[in-house]
Amino acid sequence: TVVCGGGCYGVAGIMPLARALKEAGNKVICINEASSSYLVYWEDELRQVCDEMIVVTKDGSQGIKGGVQEVISSLVARGEEIDQAFIVGCTFMMMLVCDTTKELGISTQTALNPIMVDGTGMCGACRVDVGGKTKFICVDGPFVDGHQVDWPELMHRRAAYGREEREALPQDHNHHCRHA
Ligand code: FES
């Protein structure tokens, strides 16, 4: 029994994975996470490549309220014996899920998305500590054992250009903040 959990763009990421796992004879449960109902996509598409598809939203506007980690806990509570989890989403989401699956003893592979520059294993921008070893995710990943990832370090490195990323967003020059 395999759980494929996707959040935001990660929902698309788990689609080919779920399809291949199902074709290989596994029981596949997909979890489709979004912040709110208007951001849920590919429900029908995902349903076609798995045995069960569960929608979960952060605000509870559709499906279960919470995140992938809450759904996995409820699956275990109902007696599912999960052999493997694959999680694709933002770094924070994957960290939360891994905290839960570690406690539950469920092997978990996560598709990391550190900042990448050359994508050939030369620059070192994408380096992540996995089990005390340096991995270059562009060539060693994207999937690694989520229970071995140094999540705080990864989040810190991902935020390195946060100010520049915000500045690069389109600015609304007609907007005057009333709270200034
Ligand atoms: Fe440069 Fe991976 S992006 S080493």
Query: Average pLDDT of 141-160?
Result: 96
Element (H, E) at 169: none
Distinct helix (H) and strand (E) counts, the chain: 7, 9
H-helix segments, the chain: 10-23, 43-47, 68-77, 91-104, 137-140, 151-158, 162-168
Answer whether 118 contacts ligand 1 (Cβ < 6 A).
yes
Answer whether 116 contacts ligand 1 (Cβ < 6 A).
yes
Report which of 107, 112, 102 is spatially closest to residue 144, judged by C-alpha positions.
112
What is the pLDDT at residue 180? 47
- Which residue, judged by its Cα, is nearest atom 1 of ligand 1? 123
Q: Which residues pair with 64 in a beta bridge?
A: 56
Phi-psi region of 17 (alpha: psi -120 to 50; beta: other; left: phi over 0): alpha
Q: How far apart are CA 25 and CA 70, in angstroms?
A: 26
Q: Taking the alpha carbons of 103, 106, 107, 112 in that order, is the dihedral positive or negative?
A: negative
- What is the CA(145)–ligand 1 centre distance, in A? 19
Q: How far apart are CA 24 and CA 29, in angstroms?
A: 14
Considering the entire predicted model, what is its pTM? Answer: 0.90
- Is the pLDDT confidence value at 105 over 90? yes
Q: How far apart are CA 180 and CA 178, in angstroms?
A: 6
Query: How do residues 45-80 score in pLDDT, each as one tens digit?
Result: 999 999 999 999 999 999 999 999 999 999 999 999
Q: Locate 163 and state its tokens.
A: 């100010």
Answer whether 16 contacts ligand 1 (Cβ < 6 A).
no
Query: How do residues 31-48 score in pLDDT, each as one tens digit?
Result: 999 999 999 999 999 999
What is the pLDDT at residue 33? 97
Question: How many CB atoms within 10 Å of residue 82?
Answer: 19
Place of tokens 């609304």: 172
Amino acid at 129: D
- What is the CA(114)–ligand 1 centre distance, in A? 9
Q: How far apart are CA 141 and CA 60, in angstroms?
A: 33
Place of tokens 């050359």: 118
- Is the pLDDT confidence value at 171 over 90? no
